[in-house]
């Protein structure tokens, strides 16, 4: 896998899809590898004609451990650098959870780089419960506490998956196995990513200035980013499109991939048609 050498970071990345396809950068959430997009989203987007770039953000295992911390400006700058790597001037951007915050901040501060944006589990702030959970995760890392892997998997399942997903015992056990296998030692990189969410504050007023076409997707049974927080983003961003997916938790893009993929593709294609129509009108 090639590595993008960006200011202060070397990030593994992968490009998939037709070489002449519209460029699309995908931004994963806290601690997760960009490879997670490849299970469901990347094949659907490539089939729809998009050239996608996925990557491991600063702090993800395999990148630099970020002993001096990470800022939202670092994460936004990295996505801007990856768009530059594509050599297309601008790109569509899709992000989930912390990746949604990065996508929203990029749309706000570097709109010339963003053709359209999709924010899954979008949010402009953390409510008291989410903030307490984030602070607790940081405190566990600082104290050197390592929870038993199976217990950690159970906690992750309850937090990130919908009750509808866990209702079937075989499906629940499969998820527990995956989450237990994926659990790694929490280190400074994960801590640095968690601290970004903790320090961002309430950005609802700032997001009123976003003018990039934006699709906001909430997951109806999301305990990490409750859907009401996603609705807040849609309410403040002018012209934002909002959708909520039933029977989906924080991992809704894995639990209900067909619905998520359809929303993303339809939105991106509709934005392409708007741009083409506007271009045609300007040429006549």
Print pLDDT tens along the chain (284 aa): 899 989 888 899 999 999 999 999 999 999 899 999 999 999 999 999 999 999 999 988 766 657 678 999 999 999 999 999 888 899 999 999 999 999 999 999 999 999 999 999 999 999 999 999 999 999 999 999 999 999 999 999 999 999 999 999 999 999 999 999 887 667 788 899 999 988 888 999 999 999 999 999 999 999 999 999 999 999 999 999 999 999 999 999 999 999 999 999 999 999 876 655 544 444 55
Look at residue 211 and tell me if it is in a domain. Answer: yes
The confidence score (pLDDT) of residue 110 equals: 98
For position 280, what pLDDT does the model report? 46
Q: What is the domain extent for residue 64?
A: 3-125+202-283
- Which position among 97, 116, 197, 230 bears the catalytic label? 97
Give the per-residue pLDDT at 62. Answer: 63
222 is catalytic: yes
Q: What is the pLDDT of residue 184?
A: 63
Q: How high is the pLDDT of residue 188?
A: 83
Asked whether residue 77 is assigned to any structural domain, the reply reads yes
CB 119 within 8 A of CB 217: yes
Instruction: Identify whether 145 is part of a domain.
Output: no
What is the pLDDT at residue 86?
84
Residue 116: inside a domain: yes
**C-alpha to C-alpha distance for 178 and 175, rounded to whole angstroms:** 5
Active site residue 250: yes
In angstroms, what CA-CA distances link 173 with 62, 96, 157, 160? 28, 25, 10, 15
Number of domains into which the chain is organized: 1
Does any domain span residue 235? Answer: yes
pLDDT of 198 reads 83
With respect to residue 161, please indicate whether it lies within any of the assigned structural domains: no
* Predicted local confidence at residue 144, as pLDDT: 92
Specify if 157 maps to a domain: no
The secondary structure element, H or E, covering residue 75 is helix 72-86
DSSP state of 56: P
Beta partners for residue 91, in sequence order: 114
Q: In CATH, what number is assigned to the domain containing residue 45?
A: 3.40.50.1820
pLDDT at 254: 97
223 within some domain: yes
Look at residues 25, 145, 154, 175 and name the one whose alpha carbon lies nearest to residue 96: 25
Is 58 buried (19+), middle (13-18) or exposed (0-12) by CB count in 10 A?
buried
């Amino acid at each position: 896998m090639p590595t993008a050498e960006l200011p202060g970071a070397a990030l593994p990345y992968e490009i998939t899809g037709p070489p002449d396809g519209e460029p699309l950068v995908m931004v994963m959430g806290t601690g997760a590898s960009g490879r997670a997009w490849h299970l469901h989203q990347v094949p659907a987007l490539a089939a729809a004609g998009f050239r996608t770039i996925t990557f491991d953000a600063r702090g993800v295992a395999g990148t630099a451990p970020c002993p001096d911390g990470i800022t939202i400006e670092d994460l936004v700058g990295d996505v801007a650098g990856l768009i530059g790597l594509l050599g297309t001037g601008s790109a569509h951007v899709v992000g989930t959870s912390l990746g949604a915050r990065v996508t929203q901040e990029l749309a706000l501060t570097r709109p010339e780089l963003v053709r359209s944006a999709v924010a899954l589990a979008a949010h402009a702030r953390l409510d008291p419960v989410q903030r307490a959970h984030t602070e607790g995760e940081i405190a566990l890392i600082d104290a050197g506490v390592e929870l038993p892997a199976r217990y950690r998997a159970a906690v992750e399942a309850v937090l990130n998956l919908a009750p509808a997903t866990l209702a079937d015992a075989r499906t629940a056990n499969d998820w527990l196995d995956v989450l237990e296998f994926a659990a790694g030692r929490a280190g400074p990189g994960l801590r640095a990513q968690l601290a970004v969410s903790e320090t961002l504050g309430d950005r609802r007023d700032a997001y009123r200035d976003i003018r990039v076409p934006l699709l906001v997707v909430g997951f109806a049974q999301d305990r990490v980013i409750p859907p009401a927080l996603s609705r807040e983003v849609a309410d403040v961003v002018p012209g934002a499109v909002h959708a909520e997916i039933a029977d989906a938790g924080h991992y809704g893009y894995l639990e209900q991939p067909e619905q998520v993929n359809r929303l993303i593709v339809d939105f991106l294609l509709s934005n392409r048609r708007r741009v083409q129509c506007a271009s045609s009108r300007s040429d006549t």
